[in-house]
Amino acid sequence: MDKILIKGGTLYTMTDGENDIFHGDVLVENGKIAQVAPEIVCEGAQVIDANGNYVLPGLIDAHTHIGLFDFNHDSSVDDANEMTDPVTAAMDARYSINPKARELKVAYEHGITTMLFTPGSGNVFCGQAIVAKTYGDNIFEMTIKAPAAVKIALGGNPKNTYGDMKRLPMTRMGVANVLWETFRKAKEYLDKQNRGEEQDYDANMEAIIPALKGEIPCKIHCTQYDMITAIEVAKAYGVKFSLEHAWGATDYLDEIVESGCDICYGPIATYRSPGERRKVDVEAVKMLDDRGVNVAMITDSPILSEESLYHHIGEAVREGVSQERAVRMVTINPARQLNLDDRLGSLEVGKDADIVIMKGKLGLDTDAKVLYTMVDGKIVYQDK
């Protein structure tokens, strides 16, 4: 049946209007949202009674390594890190993702319908991140956008990777040197290309060009004072960027706001320890949101489980973020970061029919759970 009518739920449309939460109906037709209104009549449609429940756009996790770190075997598999050189920008995450990873099923059963899959973070330039739906068995068919971002990593991960090899970069200043030099080379490569000058093909430089052109963002793994390095370099080359993890952001609120960058905060439910996790400052989520920064919350799955996204929403609420604003951080906010808000992140006509029907309020009710998950208009999960 091509038409599905969701009747009588509390709709979290995640639009920017004053009345973006209301009691109403959603009509799905041919994989898209066809109508959103207080009341819809459509003869011949399959009807889902959502009365007393909540209807949301599919949740988005904007930073995951599912299928790249594959925990589906007797021993874990790391296909996320091509740690043979600190610059592997040309590596395409799709060729490492196992679409049969059990974590993907867990994801859509918990209402997470879209993810950004990223390589890394063992290198400074880790590779090309992609956006895909969580339901399917062919990652190329599941993919929405590739490449979706250039993944970069600062701090302990690349420093420790190459420090063990006794080669550059084995210090934070070495990591910064690789970052500056690679962007310089990429800009020089692009300038020669624009002038029509002959030069040897360089796959890594080609992979960075879309970021230099502003076509895709850089997702920069960094925490604490590494965030200042990221901001300085990104501003120098005019690239759009997000700070990934961003623990310690409360120390640099002014710099983050002034830079205009996005934040992918988390995982929240991580332990505090010496090094990068020394300052897990969950309160940063509210502080940044209050100052107009586009904040998304991420699980870093499968490092943390996919359903921990619920805990992230709850922790944001506990820190004073309104429940609606917290839900935006896992729907429309990440969709905008990924330049996919024309298709994802809200219940609006013409967008992909990625829809979740939930019992209970995310972030407030501890027994909140998914009753239905719909991906591209198809019911892929129903609570029994």
Residue 2 confidence (pLDDT): 83
- Copy the structure tokens of residue 254: 């002014």
Which is nearest to 87 in space by CA: 148, 150, 129, 163? 150
- Give the rounded percent of residues in the chain with a pLDDT score beyond 90: 91
C-beta of residue 130 within 8 angstroms of C-beta of residue 143: yes
Q: If you average pLDDT over residues 276-304, what whole number do you get?
A: 92
Average pLDDT, the chain: 95
Residue 73 confidence (pLDDT): 64
Residue 192 confidence (pLDDT): 98
Q: If you average pLDDT over residues 55-80, what whole number do you get?
A: 87
Q: If you average pLDDT over residues 49-63, what whole number do you get?
A: 98
Long-range contacts of 94-97 (CB under 8 A, 24+ apart): 94/130, 94/139, 94/140, 94/143, 94/146, 96/67, 96/68, 97/66, 97/67, 97/68, 97/132, 97/139
Residue 72 confidence (pLDDT): 67
Beta bridge partners of 245: 222, 265
- Give the rounded percent of residues in the chain with a pLDDT score beyond 70: 98
Does 58 score more than 70 pLDDT?
yes
Q: If you average pLDDT over residues 146-172, what whole number do you get?
A: 95
Rounded to the nearest 10°, the torsion over CA 94, 62, 354, 308 is 110
Q: If you average pLDDT over residues 155-162, what whole number do you get?
A: 94
Residue 81 confidence (pLDDT): 94
Residue 180 and residue 188: Cα distance in Å, rounded?
A: 12
pLDDT digits (tens, 9 = 90+) for 5-15: 999 999 999 99
| For helices 203-212 and 172-195, angle between their N-to-C axes, nearest 10 degrees | 90
Domains and CATH numbers, the chain: 1-57+346-384 (2.30.40.10), 59-344 (3.20.20.140)
Does 1 score more than 70 pLDDT?
no
pTM across the whole model: 0.96
Q: If you average pLDDT over residues 61-87, what whole number do you get?
A: 86
pLDDT digits (tens, 9 = 90+) for 208-252: 999 999 999 999 999 999 999 999 999 999 999 999 999 999 999
Does 74 score more than 70 pLDDT?
no
Residue 384 confidence (pLDDT): 85
Residue 278 confidence (pLDDT): 74
User: Which residue has better confidence, 334 or 273?
Assistant: 334
Residue 18 confidence (pLDDT): 74
